[in-house]
Amino acid sequence: MARLYEELSIRLEEMAMIASRTLRLNSGSDWTLRYVPLGRSGATSEMGAIELLSTKQGVSCYDYHSGTCFQITRDDPAREPADLI
């Protein structure tokens, strides 16, 4: 489990850094690494978009289905976590 945790942490940070560079989002020293599936309550359980990195400038996300990075604001309604069940 420890090795899986380390691998997951490294890969998640790598994804977040790629997304922030793609979006020209300055992560600086004030950022929070996250893995939060995005969507509204009652949305399909098939995961697509995820929140990766939150900064003062905004939130960087990745959509698996379209293969694109995108940015949303901290108060965007899309930040409501998707139902996982």
The arrangement of strands across the sheet holding 49-55 comes to 31-37, 49-55, 59-63, 68-72
Which tens digits make up the pLDDT trace of 6-16? 999 999 999 99
Cβ atoms of residues 38 and 50 within 8 Å: yes
The confidence score (pLDDT) of residue 44 equals 47
Q: Which residues of the chain have pLDDT under 50?
A: 41-45, 84-85
